[in-house]
Structure 1
Amino acid sequence: MTMTTTTTTPETKTVLVIGATGKQGRAFIRSLLFPPSTSTPSSPTTITPPPTKSENWHILALTRDASALPAQALLGEAKQHNATSKISLVEACLNTPSTLRAVFESHPNIYSVFVVLAYPGLGTPVIAQKEKAQGTLIADLAVEFGVKLFVYSSTIPIGPDPSDGIDESRKQKREVEHYIEDLGKKNPELKWIVIRPGFFYENLEGVFGAIGATMYRDGLKKETTLTMVASEDLGRVVAGLLQNPEPYINKFLCVTSGPMTMREVLDAHKRATGKPMPAAPGFLGWILLKINKGAQDLVREAEINHANRTSGRLPTFEEEVERAKSVCELQTYEQWKRALVSGECGVDELARSGSTDGRRASTSSWNNLSLMKLLTGRS
């Protein structure tokens, strides 16, 4: 009697990534499809990746222009890891609903959607108001087309109410959070997870990072803490959520390694590099805080958030932080900076180069601002 062996292959799960060429989207794709090597387990900066299950993943990377440099850079990275068959570029404009609907119609078996809406920049309330429309549209389409898992990247709340805070983009993200929560109650088949990333370490890199560091150093009270995280760790968290979603269904996760004062950040930088963190001239930070409303608002929001966290007005904050840390280990700023300097595996190559969009590092913009806008008070 001849025995036949049946070979089963893991189910292919398709993930639509909205914001695929941005910092968070790239970090997620990298962590899911080609996680960094952990071949140096003795290294103190080696971070344990989330457990990998046996699913075959396919990424639909949404972009407005598939021929643009960031989109092609994403494909180039996939090619380096022999993973081009696992990524497809799809084109749509989030402000044109018919183009987004066409993506869902062309790919009717999308398992999960990971949504990162582009930050419009400081002081751009009219543009920011589009975020709610975009976020709710994507959520509605997810329900209509039977998406099983909806992951939305929001922001750590300033205060307990959606209206808390100053930045219009932050307010809109909170509105989208509540819309998703309510939509899930009406449509129980939709499983959702909201992640709330902290301030990215990468924002302190490069010329504009030096300006931002100076602004926070001189503008914040000495005891005020910032909630910070590495974008690559955010990617690990989201990849871990897709691989093991059940404990996190219909929950919020604050993704931060922990709050730090700017003095703690500066000290960690010096320990990691042996050098002081690059800073802009003190007068530049002073001018920025005096004339630029967007910069003033960032500092004010950081102060409000710190006050609310430490006074207990964000009672679930610590629980949400620990929930994110239960997915995978998160790097401290010092660990991240040491790895960045040493060139160890696992550190985002684009972070090392200072690039935020798949291109060579630029010194002309930060949060969609130019140096001229910063120094003339336009934001």
Structure 2
Amino acid sequence: MHRPSDTDHREEATMTGHILITGAAGKTGGYAAKTLLNQGHHVRALVRRADERSERLAAVGAEIVVADLLDLDAVVKAADGIDAVYLAYPIAPRLIEASAILLQAAEENNVAAIVNMSQISARRDAVSNAARQHWIAERVLDHFTGAVVHLRPTFFAEWLTSFFDAATGQLRLPFEQARHAPIAAEDQGRVIAALVTDPTPYAGKILKLHGPVELNHQQIADAMTRTLGRPVTYVPISLDEFGRDLRKRGYDEHFVQHLLAVAVDYRNGIFAGTNDTVETITGRPPLTVEAFTERHF
């Protein structure tokens, strides 16, 4: 099978619009798919199951494919005729295998680019099993002969919706007074859409994604208070209490081990910082905590 040259890749990536979005029912994948559809691209949305989320994507023009990222034949079929792929895998075992399968499927179908969702905590010596696996998955995908871009976001702003207790007005989290700049999934979706349609300027790069303002969780609670017009309180808790809370929510041990480890990373400044990457790539600044709160609470 003919393998396009680097020039061929560049032309395909900027001129064509057949995009495979994996994890399309998830937060970043869903926003990326909708952005691309609004821009007139053909989106093939790979989902693990058909449900109301996939129905909503189909209603706005996405081609829905129900498949498992661990099924090589299904992924190869899903990548047929595709120019670029967004790879998103949940915090779950077998990430490295899924990444290798996606890589093989992309190679067999002459895909021009892969945009990979990683983590800001991804590194060789990470204590989190999931974060270390993301680092290895990045190195696996680096063998792709097309363009590869790795995204490493800080904590999503969606953490606030997941861990805010509306009944008590509390955010109970084990982050002490460390800081980060929350990044909304919709801003990441716009970045992903821009990169899968024109990855060339960022090919081979690791991009950290941050929101516009670095805050600790007391400051985040204060911003939510101002926006909502009712008290929101940050309650620092221990790692042990956080672990108990996660298990009560029904999360599996792989997920719990990851969140406990990255909570320590957070305290140590791994998630800190801000930059202008979102605005540089998309032409629009990312949402502030106040703007995110207005939209989602």
TM-score of Structure 1 vs Structure 2, range by shorter chain? 0.7 to 0.9
1:134-213 equivalences in 2 (<5 Å):
134-157=98-121, 161-166=123-128, 168-181=129-142, 183-184=143-144, 187=145, 190-205=146-161, 208-210=163-165
**Alignment TM-score, normalising by the size of structure 1:** 0.63
Residue 69 in structure 1 maps to residue 61 in structure 2: no
Counterpart selection for 2:171 from 207, 211, 214: 214
Pair member with larger Rg? 1
Residue 97 in structure 1 maps to residue 72 in structure 2: yes
Counterpart selection for 1:231 from 185, 195, 200: 185
| Distance 1:131-1:271 versus aligned 2 partners, 3 A rule | same
Determine the structure 2 residue equivalent to 1:115.
87
- The 3-state SS of whatever aligns with 2:24 is coil
5+ residue gaps, structure 2 = 1-13, 248-252
| Distance 1:290-1:25 versus aligned 2 partners, 3 A rule | closer
Aligned-pair distance for 1:172? 1.4
Residue 132 in structure 1 maps to residue 123 in structure 2: no
CA distance in 2, matches of 1:177, 1:305: 21
**Alignment TM-score, normalising by the size of structure 2:** 0.79
Residue 58 in structure 1 maps to residue 14 in structure 2: no
Counterpart selection for 1:27 from 24, 31, 39: 31
Residue 298 in structure 1 maps to residue 259 in structure 2: yes
Amino acid of the structure 2 residue aligned with 1:70: R
Determine the structure 1 residue equivalent to 2:207.
253
Determine the structure 2 residue equivalent to 1:364.
none
Which whole-Å deviations, capped at 9, do the CAs of 1:124-183 have from their partners, x for residues lacking one? xxxx2x11100111012212211111101111126xx323132x22221111111112x0
Deviates more, 1:325-334 or 1:262-271: 325-334
- The 3-state SS of whatever aligns with 1:215 is strand
Counterpart selection for 2:219 from 264, 289, 292: 264
Aligned-pair distance for 1:251? 0.9
Which whole-Å deviations, capped at 9, do the CAs of 1:58-97 have from their partners, x for residues lacking one? 000112334x222112223x1xxxxx2xx21112212222
| Distance 1:296-1:170 versus aligned 2 partners, 3 A rule | closer
Amino acid of the structure 1 residue aligned with 2:96: K
CA distance in 1, matches of 2:276, 2:15: 31
CA contact (8 A) 2:35 2:190 kept: yes
Counterpart selection for 2:291 from 306, 320, 335: 335
- The 3-state SS of whatever aligns with 2:34 is helix
- The 3-state SS of whatever aligns with 2:91 is coil
CA contact (8 A) 2:158 2:184 kept: yes
CA contact (8 A) 1:254 1:324 kept: no
CA RMSD, 1 decimal: 3.2
Which whole-Å deviations, capped at 9, do the CAs of 1:314-352 have from their partners, x for residues lacking one? 9xx76xx443441131112122223x1xxxxxxxxxx56
Which whole-Å deviations, capped at 9, do the CAs of 1:255-307 have from their partners, x for residues lacking one? 11143211111011112121123779x99998445685866863552332452
Determine the structure 2 residue equivalent to 1:365.
none
CA contact (8 A) 1:210 1:278 kept: no
- The 3-state SS of whatever aligns with 1:74 is helix
Percent identity between matched residues is: 22
Determine the structure 1 residue equivalent to 2:10.
none
5+ residue gaps, structure 1 = 1-9, 35-51, 79-83, 121-127, 341-350, 353-379
| Distance 1:288-1:322 versus aligned 2 partners, 3 A rule | closer
CA distance in 1, matches of 2:67, 2:188: 24
Determine the structure 1 residue equivalent to 2:228.
273
CA contact (8 A) 2:154 2:181 kept: yes
Aligned-pair distance for 1:242? 3.1
Which whole-Å deviations, capped at 9, do the CAs of 1:27-67 have from their partners, x for residues lacking one? 11122223xxxxxxxxxxxxxxxxx7xxx41000112334x
